[in-house]
Structure 1
Amino acid sequence: MKMNFPLVSTLAALLLGFAGETNAQKIDFTEYDLDNGLHVILHQDKSAPVVAVSVMYHVGSKNENPERTGFAHFFEHLLFEGSDNIKRGEFMKLVSSNGGQNNANTSFDRTYYFETFPSNQLELGLWLESERMMHPVINEVGVNTQREVVKEEKRQRIDNRPYGQFINAVFSRIFTGTPYFWQPIGSMEHLNQAKLSEFVGFFKKFYVPNNAVLSISGDIDIAKTKSLVKDYFGDVPKGEPVSQPVVNVTPITQTIIDTTYDANIQLPAIITAYQMPGMTSKDARALDLLSGILSEGVSSRLYKKMVDDKKEALQVGAFTLSLESTGAYVLYALPNGNTSLNTLLADFDSEIKELRENLISEKDYEKLMNQAEDKFVGANTKNIGVAENLATAYTFFNKQTNHVNTELEEIKAVTREDIRNAARKYLNDNQRLILYYLPKK
């Protein structure tokens, strides 16, 4: 599918993926806990003199107070402000001046910080992350500065971006009353109202070693790295136990039909969204495979039918948004010319009906398995990908880090019958949102 329309670029910027291991290469790792509860995962890869250092905190927007949204994303920025031993504005300079790169991202369920360095700078990466965890500077200057940074990011990525309200428009309708109702960017009003003490309290509650995974991948000596990890992280105080919120999603039992408007678009879109189970479910894997049948590549069913053959759509897609406790299965299309949105909706329905009634062909099934393996091969070609996959497996798959080595097997265990059954269970007309996404005059 061509990636030259604004909705695709918006989704690419908003969504975060995860991946596992392939049959081609088993990821060996060493893991253990420090006394303060920090889980450590080490993967040695001597193929290049580079190393990735990362910390994943099990805190995202779903952990926030509904009256103080945006805190997790705010801390993604705030924790680059500096520490007791790193002057304000020096964090990223230290990284770049030593040949490294760094970044961070936040989702509904976790916050992830990482650096990549030449392997002789491993100790610097550990020091930087320990400084971030142990004693960052959280003061009015930093808070006020990052408020403005986050406001500008919201303007660029959401408020002024074509289709920037896409995810918010869907989630606010199918996850009403849950912590997935709001987006990680949060409310600027909430951030403006928050006092410094609230930011300090949020940090002390969630950014503690017993709510984090330190994952390191690259050209390392395991014994030496263990010693360095103890030196830099062993004295970080253990926090209070962190309990993840119970997310109870009210099932959709009657079609929701709604309209939303976007002043930044000229082309309307039709969107349908269904609730689906969380990321660890076998049904979630089946639905992810199903989206490959519908819209992955120019030979996929929706693209071939709606874009190539009937020329009704300029762009069409189907994808899963897998979260820790639930998820969404989404289809969307942008019309070509005067094609009505209801015509596109009818095309969606006919293809979903086909998947609910009949098994996909053996040829299509083989293609899906090949696509899945290709994705996993690509996901683990870099140390930063391996580090994130290891941390994700431990954090979200019941502390089973070896999930990176079994996930592809689990995907290949999904049968054609499983795919049809998942479509029958979750993709029903009375279980969905139909959203008309229209230009605002």
Structure 2
Amino acid sequence: MIRPAFGRGPVPILAAFCFLIAAGVADADAKVYEPESIMLDNGMQVVAITDQRVPVVTHMVWYRVGGADEAPGETGLAHFLEHLLFKGTDKVPSGAFSRAVSRNGGQDNAFTGYDYTAYFQTIASDKLPMVMEMEADRMVNLTLDPDEVAAERQVVLEERRSRVDNSPAALLGERTDAALYLNYPYRRPLIGWAHEIEALTRENALAFYRKWYAPNNAILVVAGDITMERLKPLAEKYYGAIPARSVPERIRPAEPEQISARRVELTHPLAGQVSWARRWLAPSRFWGESRHVMPLSVLAEVIGGGSTSRLYKELVIEQKVALSVGAFYGGGTIGPATFGFYGQPADGHTVQDLERAVESELEAILRDGVDPAEVARAVKAMEASAVYARDSVTAPAHSVGRSLAVGRTIDEIESWPEEVGAVTVEQVMEAARAVLRKPGHVTSVLRPKPAS
């Protein structure tokens, strides 16, 4: 499942890239992207992904800090600071960064996740020095006018109202995360609780900025019409001049063993249709049994990865108990990942009908297993999607940057094709039993509120 991300507005990421994350293969690269990497003297990693078909680049700076690194009582601070970084420096006044990018035919944006914060621009390759100079400037020279901070706080509160408070699915998602993660900070809303957003101050933001925003805690990724030969001197000029600073170790609490099932239900007047989901905590690249990550990605594709999947063929086509159904998993997180299923009951069927049908299919899979042909089809679909993502100038920068930001290496990223191609039926079933037989799942149900 994609971990939520919040930014200043819609982030234009290709559908192929979104599929890669949802399938747990956002890390698919090197044989596809072939990134080159160097390290500046100040500890900043620099990555070039060359694709010179069009004279355009995507320039991204990823910071190894996100919503899961906030102190208790400061939910939403990482996202709030992301907004405030567009309020300018002495050299580049508030709003001037985005205006300069727009005047030169480009687009810029930013987003915050639980494990990272990223800023990016897509622009003509001859304008790369301009955006690098401005991005390096705001890495260290942010100035915050108190009035602008107060105004931006209201912008974030309005974003929460529009994207969460007025979205029944988002409200249910917040409550589900709080039930699923007993102790890990993924249980807190990334955008923040409204009452804690209201209490965020200029001093909070600057303290977080000075604590985490440093070149040795950042990764520069440039994809498109670029080579490392050209990028290296530019990176040394603009980012290499920034001194390294002490950055604290990221300390994440342990998640206790989950021994009981939970259920979260929400009835809301804005809900259009009944929906159902069930999810488990699952291993990620850095939490739990990481050897299960790629088999779980394949399992999600086999069980619920589209119209050829087990669940779709059985519940939508054969039994007609579901209007839609699928599975999700994403292992590219620092903390616990989630593996789960979702669906909407078809007309004439209830949530209970859908739930029993999904449970029956899962029992059959755990009892009888999956066959080699299903695994082969899933692997082929995942490999094909990774190749399609190469057609975008943006997707490679997002994919590689995200992987590096959570702690993976270029060598690990490059090994993905061999890793997915080596997944066996036995590994898929071992991973399935390791996750789906655990009792600590959370079931969530969203229901429309009947008219009075």
Distance in 1 between residues matched to 2:272 and 2:230, nearest whole Å:
58
Deviation at 1:15, TM superposition (A): 10
Is 1:268 matched with 2:271? no
Distance in 1 between residues matched to 2:411 and 2:95, nearest whole Å:
38
Are the counterparts in 1 of residues 60 and 222 from structure 2 also a CA contact under 8 Å? yes
Is 1:37 matched with 2:43? yes
Are the counterparts in 1 of residues 370 and 425 from structure 2 also a CA contact under 8 Å? yes
Seq. identity, %: 28
Deviation at 1:185, TM superposition (A): 0.8
Q: What amino acid sits opposite 1:337 in the alignment?
A: D
When residues 308 and 325 of structure 1 are mapped into structure 2, their CA distance, relative to the original with a 3 A threshold, is same
When residues 20 and 316 of structure 1 are mapped into structure 2, their CA distance, relative to the original with a 3 A threshold, is same
Deviation at 1:26, TM superposition (A): 4.7
Deviation at 1:341, TM superposition (A): 1.4
Is 1:319 matched with 2:328? yes
When residues 362 and 253 of structure 1 are mapped into structure 2, their CA distance, relative to the original with a 3 A threshold, is same
Equivalent residue for 2:424, pick from 415, 428, 440: 415
Number of positions where the alignment pairs a residue of Structure 1 with one of Structure 2: 428
Equivalent residue for 1:396, pick from 383, 399, 406: 406
Equivalent residue for 2:171, pick from 127, 152, 165: 165
Deviations 1:338-360 (A, max 9, x none): 42212111111111112212231
Deviation at 1:321, TM superposition (A): 4.1
Runs of 5+ consecutive residues of structure 2 not aligned to the other structure: 1-14
Are the counterparts in 1 of residues 176 and 264 from structure 2 also a CA contact under 8 Å? no
Equivalent residue for 1:144, pick from 125, 150, 175: 150
Deviation at 1:369, TM superposition (A): 1.0
Look up the SS of the partner of 2:186 in the other structure. coil
Distance in 2 between residues matched to 1:102 and 1:33, nearest whole Å:
25
2:301 aligns to what?
A: 292
Q: What amino acid sits opposite 1:220 in the alignment?
A: I
When residues 340 and 75 of structure 1 are mapped into structure 2, their CA distance, relative to the original with a 3 A threshold, is same
Look up the SS of the partner of 1:235 in the other structure. coil
Aligned ranges for residues 191-230 of structure 1 at < 5 Å? 191-230=197-236
Is 1:20 matched with 2:20? no
2:361 aligns to what?
A: 351
Distance in 1 between residues matched to 2:19 and 2:136, nearest whole Å:
28
Distance in 2 between residues matched to 1:109 and 1:88, nearest whole Å:
27
When residues 26 and 372 of structure 1 are mapped into structure 2, their CA distance, relative to the original with a 3 A threshold, is closer
1:306 aligns to what?
A: 315
When residues 219 and 356 of structure 1 are mapped into structure 2, their CA distance, relative to the original with a 3 A threshold, is same
Look up the SS of the partner of 1:298 in the other structure. coil
Are the counterparts in 1 of residues 77 and 197 from structure 2 also a CA contact under 8 Å? yes
Deviation at 1:402, TM superposition (A): 2.7
Distance in 2 between residues matched to 1:305 and 1:29, nearest whole Å:
41
Distance in 2 between residues matched to 1:15 and 1:364, nearest whole Å:
19
Q: What amino acid sits opposite 2:319 in the alignment?
A: K
Are the counterparts in 2 of residues 358 and 420 from structure 1 also a CA contact under 8 Å? no
- What's the TM-score, normalizing by structure 2? 0.88
When residues 46 and 425 of structure 1 are mapped into structure 2, their CA distance, relative to the original with a 3 A threshold, is same
Is 1:373 matched with 2:380? no
Deviation at 1:133, TM superposition (A): 0.6
Are the counterparts in 1 of residues 68 and 115 from structure 2 also a CA contact under 8 Å? yes
Are the counterparts in 2 of residues 101 and 115 from structure 1 also a CA contact under 8 Å? yes
Distance in 1 between residues matched to 2:433 and 2:158, nearest whole Å:
43
2:10 aligns to what?
A: none
1:74 aligns to what?
A: 80
Runs of 5+ consecutive residues of structure 1 not aligned to the other structure: 1-11
Higher relative contact order (CA 8 A, sep 6+): 2
Distance in 2 between residues matched to 1:330 and 1:21, nearest whole Å:
22
1:52 aligns to what?
A: 58
2:114 aligns to what?
A: 108
Distance in 2 between residues matched to 1:321 and 1:43, nearest whole Å:
23
Is 1:341 matched with 2:351? yes
Deviations 1:18-69 (A, max 9, x none): 623468x454443222232211112333222111211011111100112000
When residues 216 and 266 of structure 1 are mapped into structure 2, their CA distance, relative to the original with a 3 A threshold, is closer
Distance in 2 between residues matched to 1:436 and 1:117, nearest whole Å:
43
Look up the SS of the partner of 1:35 in the other structure. coil
Are the counterparts in 2 of residues 287 and 419 from structure 1 also a CA contact under 8 Å? yes
Equivalent residue for 2:435, pick from 422, 426, 429: 426
- Greater shift after overlay, 294-303 or 428-437? 428-437
Q: What amino acid sits opposite 2:380 in the alignment?
A: N
Q: What amino acid sits opposite 1:404 in the alignment?
A: I
Distance in 1 between residues matched to 2:100 and 2:323, nearest whole Å:
46
When residues 221 and 291 of structure 1 are mapped into structure 2, their CA distance, relative to the original with a 3 A threshold, is closer
- Greater shift after overlay, 380-389 or 123-132? 380-389
Are the counterparts in 2 of residues 103 and 113 from structure 1 also a CA contact under 8 Å? yes
Distance in 1 between residues matched to 2:232 and 2:133, nearest whole Å:
14
- What's the TM-score, normalizing by structure 1? 0.91
Are the counterparts in 1 of residues 20 and 382 from structure 2 also a CA contact under 8 Å? no
Look up the SS of the partner of 2:315 in the other structure. helix
Deviations 1:311-354 (A, max 9, x none): 22222221014322111112122222242212111111111112
Deviation at 1:214, TM superposition (A): 0.7
Deviation at 1:429, TM superposition (A): 5.7
Distance in 2 between residues matched to 1:15 and 1:406, nearest whole Å:
19
